[in-house]
A = this chain, B = another copy of it.
Amino acid sequence: MTTGEQGVPPLDPSELGAYFVLTEAVSLLQYQVEQQLRAEGGISYVQFQLLARLAHLDGPLTMTELADGVVYSRSGLTYQAGLLEKAGLVTRGPSPEDDRVTLVAVTADGRALVERVLPGHVQVIRRLLFDPLTDDDLHHVADIMTRVRDHMRTQPPRSAAPRRSRNSPSA
C-alpha cells in the first residue's frame, strides 16, 4: 500500500531497538578495547585480532583466510600485514602448495605481545561486557550470536564477494 514493494514487513520498533542497542553496545565496547590495546601494546584492535587468531590457531594462514576471519578487506590486510611484518610480529612466506599464496605466521615476538596484552584485554571485556551479565545471559548471547554468525557466514564472505560469476545466475 504505502510502497510499491511487495512483502516488506512493517517496522517493528522492538526489533529496530534490539538492533540499535546491539550495535551501539558493540561500538562502545570496541572503542574501550581499542584504547586498552593501544595503551598497553601499541597495537590496534585489528592488529590484535590478527595476532590473536594466528597465535590461537597455531599455524600459518593465508592472507585470504586471515582477512575473512576478521571481516576485513584484502587490501587492508596487505597493509596491516606489512606493518606487522615490519614490526617483527609476523612473517610472510610462500606456500609450498600454491605459489600464489602468502602464508602468514606469528613470530615469538608476536606471541609475546599477545600474551602481554591479553590480561588487560580480558579485564576490559570483563568489566564492560560481563559484569552486568549473569552466566545465563552470557550463554544466551553466545548461543544467539553464534547462530546469527553462522547464518551470515552462509553468505559469500566479505573479501571475496565482488568477483563475478560464482553462483550468480544473472551473468
A144 contacts the other chain (Cβ, under 8 Å)? yes
Give the residues in chain B near A128, CB-CB below 8 Å.
Answer: 148, 151-152, 155
A39 contacts the other chain (Cβ, under 8 Å)? yes
A30 contacts the other chain (Cβ, under 8 Å)? yes
- Complex CA–CA separation, A150 to B26 (angstroms): 12
* Closest B residue to A35 using CB positions: B161
Residue from A3, A24, A118, A145 with most neighbouring chain B CB atoms (10 Å): A145
Inter-subunit contact A152/B18 (CB<8 Å):
no
Known A-B contacts A71-B27, A138-B15, A141-B22; A133 and B119 likewise in contact (beta carbons under 8 Å): no
Interface SS of chain A: helix
- Complex CA–CA separation, A1 to B39 (angstroms): 7
Of the residues B23, B71, B138, contact of A18 by C-beta under 8 Å: B138
- Complex CA–CA separation, A39 to B120 (angstroms): 40
| Number of A interface residues in the complex (CB < 8 A) | 61
Q: Which residues of A contact B (CB under 8 A)?
A: 1-5, 8-9, 11, 14-19, 21-32, 39-40, 70-71, 118-120, 122-123, 125-126, 128-133, 137-142, 144-153, 155, 158
A-B contact pairs, 8 of them (CB 8 A): A1-B40, A9-B122, A14-B138, A18-B142, A21-B145, A24-B71, A25-B152, A133-B147
